[in-house]
Structure formats: C-alpha cells, structure tokens
Structure 1
C-alpha cells in the first residue's frame, strides 16, 4: 500500500468523499489542507493548477476529483465487480457530482471567494486587462483576438467574411446588427456601457448570483427525480444504491448532498427514499465515527 497525501482546501467540498473512503478502508493518509490565501503561492506546484490532488510515493501527484475517487474505490473495494454495475455506480456518482459542482460554484461566488475577479466594467484576472478585455499573446491592444485569420481590427476574416469581419442577410454594414446592437455592432442594453461591455459591479454581481443559483437549482431539479428512481431499482430503495452493500456511489451521494441538506432539508422532501438513505449512511458505524472525529468546516 503506497503512502498517500491528499491535497485540498480547508473544506469538505470535492475531497470529502476521498477522506470518507480512506476512513472506511482504515487506510492512513496525510490530509494536507490549504487556505485560499495560500493558493496563489502554491498553485503551480499541482497538475493543472487544480485541487484536490492525490500524492503517492515518489512525489507522483494525480489530479481530478472523479479520477481520484474511482482509483481509491477500486483500491479499497468500494467498486462493484461487473461492468454493468460499474456503469450504474459511475453514472450515479457523476450525477451527484454535477449537482455539487454547480452548488459549490454558486456557494463560493455568493460568499466572496470568486468576487475579487470581477471589477467594474468587466472581469479581471491573469488574462484580463484593466478595461476588462482579454489580453494575451494572441490579443491585440484593443483586447480583440489577433491571428493569421484575423484582420487588423481583431475581427475574423475569410472567404465568406466581409471587410467588417461578419456579413450576412441579417447583418448591417458594421458586421453585427440587431435589436440589441448598437451602430458599432456591439451589444447594447441597460447593463451595457458605451463600449459594449457589462457595466456596474453591483448589477453584475446580482445578475451572476441569479444565474449561478438558477444553474444549481436547474441541475438539482433535473437530476434528483431520476436518482430517486435509480435508488428504488434495487431492493425498493430500502438499502443502498447498489443493493445490500455500501459502495462509493453512496458515499459520493452523502458528501455531495451534505451541505445542501444542512442548509435546506425541505428541498429533499420529494425524495423520501434518498432522505432515508442519507440518514442510514450517516448512522453507519464507521461513517458515524468519521463524522464525529473529522475537522468540521462551513463548506
């Protein structure tokens, strides 16, 4: 058995299912946690600038949440044996992870982690200029893409393109025209500045809050009914997703739903079988001991 170090932020998030599997299997590991304030300093130490990351003997570091989870599930015996059962277990895990991914993006945006990237007049970041337009080796000084197929204005040029960069039956002489388009061909509207870029950090934050919440709730309401039916396919939903034995899809379900469940249990009232499963997993002796002893964080 190799020596493991799990690198992740100081939260449950995407790494909690991994920690739970380590505990269930009785395998020791180092739980290395990072504060967000540390991340810019050490992000280049990790593949894809990404956490979680699983480090093994020899300094080998492996990224990607679901790849790590599947590896640990196979190593620790939390994966089914047959190909069809593996397929079923995988889609259950992927469905719950999709909900959690949208929830976490909404949660971190709402609570300020991502807001520092947004400034008045546009988005700011490593590839963004002070005007809020993209900068980089292929970008012109105006913030528009430059390249072998690009005209000096930064607009695409080609055999079907007019001198303005975009032409067609519904296009004006500027290359882009429509009910919400200004004479320059850039989008105009109540939240758009004269440059055609989104203006007003307050409006932008509010609009993005609404979008991220809508996206999270859309995923939840789209996926959860099918997950309830999937649970009922084995033993009428009275045990676990794969039947009599707890697998990593059950742990993924618990960890993905935990923050949402604590925040608003009424969301789960239409899914009684999964609510019962959530409580059943939480009371499982090894899981209960892990939940009692773990480092508790707000996400």
Structure 2
C-alpha cells in the first residue's frame, strides 16, 4: 500500500471517508483523490479493490481539462462515462467474487464503490442502484450486521417499488436476500415466502428460455421433416424430480397462505406447465395449464397473462392431437 499522510483540509471543505463517510483524516498518496477516516479503513479499501482501481479514479475525481472544441469536450465526456461503466461492472464483479468466497468484509468496500459509481452515473433513485444495495445487504448478513442489512434491503425495496423496468434477475436477488434476512431474524414464515419467490423466478427463467428455443426448433423441424420435435428439459432425471418437488412445494405454499397472490400462483402453475411440457408429459402439462387459465380468468388477471397461458395450452393440445410417426 502507498504511503499515507494526514490531510491539511482546505477551509470550508469537508472530506469524507471512502468506506464509512466519516470526516477524513488521510488520503491515498498514489491517486490523491480518495480519502479515509483512518488507517484501518484505508487498508480495508486497498486490499478489497482500491489497489486495482487507484489510478482509474483520478480523471473521475478531478476537474475536466480545457477542450478546444465542443466535439473534443463531448469525446472527453464519453470517455469518462465509459470509465464509470467499467468501474461499476468491475467493482461489482470483485464484490461478488468475495461473497462467493465467504469474504464478506472484503466485499463491502468494492460494493460501496459500485454503488457510488452507479449513483454518479444514474442518479439517486435509479433501479440501477439495486444490485449494489443487494450485494451490501448480503455482505452485511454474512457479517451478522442485521440492522445494516435491513437498511440496504429497505433502500432496494423502495427503489424497486418506484421502478417500472426492474428485471426478473433483480427481483429474484431481492427476494433471496429478504429471505435470508427474515431467517436471521427468526421469522421463518416470511423467509419461506421470499425464498419461494426467488426459487420460482429462477426455475421459470430457465424453463422459459429453454421452452422458447425448443418451440422454435420444433416448428422448424415440423416444417422441414413433417414430424414432431422431441422435447427435452436439458436436465437429467434427478434434476427433473428435484424441479417437480421444489415447484410443487412452492405451489402448495402459495395456495395455503392466507394472503393469496393469484398472479404469483399462476406464475408457478405456468412454470410447472412448461416443465411437464418439456418432459413430454402432456396430461400433467395440460392439467397445470388449465388450472393457471382458470385462476387467471377467475381473478381477472391481465389479458396478456391470460393469452400467454392460452398459447401454452394450445401448444400442448397440438402435441396431443398430432399422430406419432
């Protein structure tokens, strides 16, 4: 680590620690644009990620140079934006790696960097902040810091609620972390609810992606050869059995909870439909598709949701009616 020295802070200027945002007393001697409350946090940041990004921070945290033309200025701004994007992704990747290795303390500074770069680029209320909040929540849970984890998850939940373009992967991570939080707090009913959301999202994404590929291949093969395409889940028998067990358990849990959510129940029914369809068990696939469609109509779910279930049902019926060659 580079030599560190006390700050002579200019009058009226407040410098904050990169890790905890307390008043800073030290600066990194290598980049001179990163500040710390003391040697402990400087060492923590250095070993986590600062050593890898030290020099990249200089152009982001210093005044832009004078440009001779608007074209040059725009080019300079684009370069800064590309650097920010790189640092967002790089710090996120580093923090993720530490979490996988169980190094929760090392993950925190890298995740904080990713969060602050996201704030600078996307604003304080963007859904782009959520992945970094979730990393910080997971690291806090790993460190046993329940209150801190709850604060990060509250920020993530609030941001997701205000957003209209949050993807399934982010929703899944949010539910997983909320499940882990409630487990740590001993609220196992809430933990089951959120972990069920996470697992069903994962299975739905896998099966839906696989289903789309198979459907296209099946249509093309029917056109070319005039014979049915053999469906396949891409899983072995043990994995298929595990998928059935997990999704059926989630469905039972959804249907037994007092606060029923028809949209989420229909979502699990659709996932089971796709699973059985790809396993070439048309009768089971049709059973779950019919249950999903009945629920969607009874509960007046959106026309789009009803149509997607109807399309699945039509495909299953077509497979049943087609003669075996």
- TM-score, scaled to structure 2: 0.28
Report the structure, 1 or 2, having the larger helix content: 2
Larger Rg: 2
Larger relative contact order, structure 1 or 2 (CA cutoff 8 Å, min sep 6):
1
Report the structure, 1 or 2, having the larger strand content: 1
